[in-house]
């Protein structure tokens, strides 16, 4: 077990950097202490800068994963990615190594880059000397300024020269990094991720100071804040409307639960009336006037029951539900496409939309059933009226 690396801090980072410590994942803060066996992960479009107590600096490129360890005997293990090290002259007993599965590079005081990707390790020396070992064969070479070693799986180490101008200093913080941060801040604000926006603003403030762009940065952030406030106001209105839509949904849902059994009963009664009509027609054809009149009494009672049931169901209300649901759904469709809606509200909109689609289908089925039974009922009544006249005349 290594000792805690006292004095080692996360000096700066941009965008999406995480630190894994034991079984926890930590969202970093600028200036936080880096402990022994911390894993630092710089995801896509992200970089990190580690500062040691002696002012040595380690830069971690995007899409990299490293583990730092040691105090006097400091080391960095790269499981994937790339680092750039600027190491101050070490005193006796101190060392600094950059390791990966294929190589170990040790220095006394120098500037160099090490990458490990796709089973290939490349070491490039910018200043000083770097002792590099091929971990497969044990072969060691001392690389000086503008020398590079390439080590691949199951292949011999290659040593070659390169020109410093070929080596892009990707670790240098530039205006483009600040512009990128501002775009990420804007995106976070639009999606309502305030905590993330705050962290990005803190990064931007430090980077703007480094680039002597504090005033310009502050001006752009204030503009984003004003836009966010306007967006929040608009979102507040949407939230209120969304609450009304959900209230309406609950009311219609509850009322529909009461209406659906009545619609089922209506269908049964209309079907029963149709059967009673067939019997009545039979008695009329047979000139059985006495039984026909008795049957008419039963039919009349059934007609009254159906008409009372239709009044209880209130067909107009079902038509109004259908229109209300359609209007609310159209609002949700429009709100879904509005910029500046945060993720929580967008999630509520999606859930409400799904609920409305289901409710809309239930109301549609109820309306169709009601219209069908009412049309059938009207036709039956006309035929019954004709039969009544015939029965009475006889």
Residues 191 and 334 both lie in one domain: no
Residues 46 and 84 both lie in one domain: yes
For CA atoms 136, 143, 48, 51, the dihedral sign is positive
* 3-state class (DSSP) for residue 305: helix
Q: Is residue 1 part of a domain?
A: no
Residues 229 and 261 both lie in one domain: no
CA 138, CA 104: separation in Å to the nearest integer? 10
Q: Is residue 171 part of a domain?
A: no
* CA count, 13 A, side-chain hemisphere, 345: 25
Q: Residue 390's pLDDT is what?
A: 57
Q: At residue 15, does pLDDT exceed 50?
A: yes
Q: At residue 3, does pLDDT exceed 60?
A: no
Domain that holds residue 101: 9-166
Find out whether 363 and 322 touch, Cβ atoms under 8 Å. Answer: yes
Q: Is residue 278 part of a domain?
A: yes
CA 135, CA 295: separation in Å to the nearest integer? 103
Give the pLDDT confidence of 71-103 residue by residue, as tens digits: 768 899 999 999 999 998 887 778 899 999 999
Residues 225 and 265 both lie in one domain: no
pLDDT over 90 percentage in the chain: 60
Residues 229 and 251 both lie in one domain: no
Q: Is residue 26 part of a domain?
A: yes
Find out whether 312 and 305 touch, Cβ atoms under 8 Å. Answer: no
Residues 213 and 104 both lie in one domain: no
Q: Is residue 45 part of a domain?
A: yes
User: Could you say which of 124, 141, 166 is where a domain stops?
Assistant: 166
CA 35, CA 28: separation in Å to the nearest integer? 12
Phi, psi (deg, nearest 5) at residue 39: -100, 125
Give the pLDDT confidence of 244-268 residue by residue, as tens digits: 999 999 999 999 999 999 999 999 9
Of 296, 263, 306, 294, nearest to 384 (Cα)? 296
Residues 125 and 24 both lie in one domain: yes
265 exposed, middle or buried (CB, 10 Å; 0-12, 13-18, 19+)?
A: middle
Find out whether 339 and 291 touch, Cβ atoms under 8 Å. Answer: no
Highest mean pLDDT out of 193-197, 236-240, 297-301, 303-307:
303-307
CA 142, CA 341: separation in Å to the nearest integer? 57
User: Could you say which of 139, 166, 193 is where a domain stops?
Assistant: 166
Instruction: Kindly list the distances between the CA atom of residue 137 and the CA atoms of 20, 123, 159, 329, in Å, as whole numbers in the listed order.
Output: 32, 17, 15, 68
Residues 184 and 303 both lie in one domain: no
Residue 176: count other Cβ atoms within 10 Å of its Cβ: 8
Query: Cα 279–303–323 angle (5° rounding)?
Result: 125
Q: Residue 161's pLDDT is what?
A: 95
User: Could you say which of 233, 249, 282 is where a domain stops?
Assistant: 233
Residues 259 and 226 both lie in one domain: no
CATH classification at residue 306: 1.20.58
CA 126, CA 284: separation in Å to the nearest integer? 112
CATH classification at residue 69: 2.60.120.1440
Q: Residue 394's pLDDT is what?
A: 52
Give the pLDDT confidence of 282-316 residue by residue, as tens digits: 887 787 878 878 888 888 899 999 999 999 999 99
Q: What is the mean pLDDT of residues 176-193?
A: 86
Domain count for the chain, please give it: 3
Q: Residue 198's pLDDT is what?
A: 87
| 15 Cβ contact list (under 8 Å, min separation 6) | 43, 45, 46, 47, 180, 181, 184, 200, 203
Alpha helix segments (H runs only) across the chain: 175-190, 194-210, 214-285, 289-313, 315-336, 343-393
Q: Is residue 51 part of a domain?
A: yes
Residues 187 and 154 both lie in one domain: no
Residues 219 and 198 both lie in one domain: yes
Q: Is residue 258 part of a domain?
A: yes
Query: How far separated are the first and last CA of the chain, in Å rounded?
Result: 111
CA 308, CA 306: separation in Å to the nearest integer? 5
Q: Is residue 342 part of a domain?
A: yes
CA 59, CA 50: separation in Å to the nearest integer? 6
Residues 224 and 238 both lie in one domain: no
């Amino acid at each position: 077990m290594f000792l805690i690396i006292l004095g080692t801090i996360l000096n700066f980072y941009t965008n999406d950097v995480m630190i894994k410590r034991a079984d926890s994942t930590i969202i970093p803060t600028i200036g936080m202490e880096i402990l022994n066996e911390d894993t630092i992960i710089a995801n896509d479009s992200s970089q990190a800068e580690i500062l040691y107590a002696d002012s040595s600096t380690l830069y971690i490129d995007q899409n990299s994963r490293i583990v730092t360890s040691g105090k006097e005997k400091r080391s960095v293990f790269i499981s994937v990615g790339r680092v750039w090290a600027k190491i101050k002259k070490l005193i006796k007993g101190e060392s600094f190594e950059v390791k990966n599965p294929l190589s170990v590079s040790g220095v006394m005081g120098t500037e160099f880059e090490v990458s490990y990707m796709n089973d290939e390790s490349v070491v490039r020396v910018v200043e000083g000397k770097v002792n590099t070992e091929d971990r497969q064969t044990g072969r060691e070479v001392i690389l000086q300024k503008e020398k590079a070693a390439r080590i691949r799986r199951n292949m011999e180490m290659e040593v070659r020269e390169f020109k410093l101008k070929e080596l892009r200093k990707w670790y240098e913080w530039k205006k483009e990094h600040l512009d990128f941060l501002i775009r990420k801040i804007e995106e976070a604000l639009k999606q309502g991720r305030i905590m993330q926006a705050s962290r990005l603003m803190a990064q931007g403030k430090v980077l703007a100071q480094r680039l002597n762009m504090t005033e310009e940065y502050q001006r752009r952030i204030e503009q984003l804040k004003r836009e966010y406030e306007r967006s929040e106001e608009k979102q507040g209105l949407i939230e209120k409307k969304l609450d009304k839509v959900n209230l309406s949904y609950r009311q219609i849902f509850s009322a529909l639960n009461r209406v659906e059994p009545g619609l089922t009963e209506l269908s049964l009664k209309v079907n029963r009336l149709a059967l009673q009509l067939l019997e009545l027609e039979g008695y009329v054809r047979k000139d059985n006037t006495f039984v026909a009149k008795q049957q008419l009494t039963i039919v009349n009672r059934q007609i009254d029951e159906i008409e009372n049931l239709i009044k209880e169901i209130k067909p107009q209300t079902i038509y109004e539900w259908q229109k209300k649901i359609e209007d609310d759904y159209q609002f949700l469709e429009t709100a879904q496409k509005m910029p500046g809606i945060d993720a929580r509200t967008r999630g509520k909109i999606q859930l409400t939309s799904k609920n409305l689609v289901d409710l809309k289908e239930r109301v549609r089925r109820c309306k169709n059933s009601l219209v069908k039974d009412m049309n059938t009922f009207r036709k039956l009544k006309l035929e019954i009226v004709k039969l009544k006249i015939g029965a009475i005349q006889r």
